[in-house]
Amino acid sequence: MGVFTLEKKCGVTQARAGLLKTRHGEIRTPIFMPVGTQATVKALTPEELEAVGAQIILGNTYHLYLRPGTEVIDRFGGLHDFMHWQKPILTDSGGFQVFSLAQLSRISEEGYAFQSHLDGGSRHLLTPETSVEVQLALNSDILMCLDQCIAHPAGHEKAEAALALTTRWARRSKDAWQSRENHNLLFGIVQGGMYADLRTRSAAEIVDVGFPGYAVGGLSVGEPKELMYAMASHTLPLLPDHAPRYVMGVGTPADLVELTAMGADMFDCVMPTRNARNGQLFTHSGTININNAEHREAVGPIEEGCGCYTCRHYSRAYLRHLYQAREILAHRLNTIHNLHFYLNLVKNMRMAILDGTFERFRREFHARQQVAPAANRS
Ligand SMILES: [Zn+2]
């Protein structure tokens, strides 16, 4: 154990700065993990990812298991050499994608029986053991336990049954992970739907099983923002201080600031990359849509003072032109800016926590997000 070093806690909020050791290097937290579903963070090379400050990326087990298949990635000794990325990688268990993408035919004590969404319905069984097996074949630095995801809204009884199954699967995942000699980390996932009592029970059970790190799952599944915050702020303090805490699948820049204030250390979300490809760009004074007519002749960058490659070299007028002409470069330049924005945000939060100025940083961040829309700037 001892993979996580807590460096500093904010005196006002629950925010923390830490160091997480993995086989492919140390991660400075809080950190955002760009999503690389198909063994690529869409539109960027690994060198470009490093340039925007990525320290760790996320891969999707479900997608990589179905295509190209673990036997292909195995020939490269794992995902790092296959995709030419030598920094840490976290993989999910595949459960969420089975739940959301595949034609799920059956969930049982054993696992998820499903049909592929790719090849007209080949049949597969995803169990806690096979999920660990596939993630070890990918040689992921951080593996996630298979859990049962539920849709929102879900009744108390259904959420309770899902959390109980998630705990039993967490034990099986841990056994499978321990039975194989490896130095990869396995994280447990807290479920419990939108019920505080179930979150308390799930956290106690998962912590009792015992993992090097913990995640809060089942958030940002369509519930109101206040409820997401309420569940996160209830659950995060129930997790051990000396282990990293990962809030899965969240969120906006403001969400990252709030969840960091609640004591979260790690985040992932498709928002910066997906929105970039749709022309939506993040700035400190809110988001802008590069397709809007007001950018037609705008000679300035997306955000004045932004140090990213895109803002150092290109105007909004040019980016709007690329977007309208459907040029591939639009995806690339927009993604560089958005990921830089997210990674710069977590880096600045970390510096503020270490400096003891996080609460001021947080106030100023929210105040700036609420100034006049970016559209009104020259
Ligand atoms: Zn920029």
Model pLDDT for residues 49-58, shown as the tens digit of each residue = 999 999 999 9
Neighbours of ion ligand 1 (CB under 5 A): 306, 308, 310-311, 337
Question: Per-residue pLDDT tens for 249-270?
Answer: 999 999 999 999 999 999 999 9
Instruction: Output phi, psi for 201, to 5 deg.
Output: -65, -45
CA of 310 to the centre of ligand 1 (A): 5
Closest CA to 256 of 241, 274, 271, 242: 271
Q: Is the peptide bond before 251 cis (omega within 30 degrees of 0)?
A: yes
Q: Could you give the angle at the alpha carbon of 215 between the alpha carbons of 226 and 191, nearest 5°?
A: 65
Distance 312 CA to ligand 1 centre (A): 7
CB 279 within 8 Å of CB 323: yes
pLDDT at 27 over 80: yes
How many whole angstroms from 335 Cα to the centroid of ligand 1? 9
CB atoms closer than 10 angstroms to residue 356: 13
Instruction: Indicate yes or no: pTM above 0.75.
Output: yes
User: How would residue 90 be classed by pLDDT, with cut points 50, 70 and 90?
Assistant: very high
Tell me the CA–centroid distance for residue 306 and ligand 1, in Å: 5
Pairing of strands 280-283, 286-289: antiparallel
Give the tens place of pLDDT for each residue, 126-175: 999 999 999 999 999 999 999 998 999 999 999 999 999 999 999 999 99
CA 73 – CA 78 distance, rounded (Å) = 5
Cα of 299 vs centre of ligand 1, distance in Å, is 14
Q: How far is the CA of 338 from the centre of ligand 1 (A)?
A: 7
**Element housing 280 (H / E):** strand 280-283
Residue 2 pLDDT exceeds 90: no
Distance 26 CA to ligand 1 centre (A): 26
How close is the Cα of 302 to the center of ligand 1, in Å? 6
* Residue 268 annotated to the active site: yes
Among candidate residues 33, 8, 24, the one with its CA nearest the CA of residue 269? 33
Q: Which residue among 74, 81, 92, 175 is the active-site one?
A: 92
CA of 8 to the centre of ligand 1 (A): 29
Instruction: Say how many Å lie between the CA of residue 274 and the centre of ligand 1.
Output: 16
Active site residue 265: no
Between β-strands 57-59 and 185-190, what pairing exists: parallel, antiparallel or unpaired?
A: unpaired
**Catalytic residue selected from 141, 147, 265, 268:** 268
286-342 residue pLDDT tens: 999 999 999 999 999 999 999 999 999 999 999 999 999 999 999 999 999 999 999
What are 115-128's pLDDT values in tens digits? 998 888 899 999 99
Q: pLDDT band at 371, cuts 50/70/90?
A: low
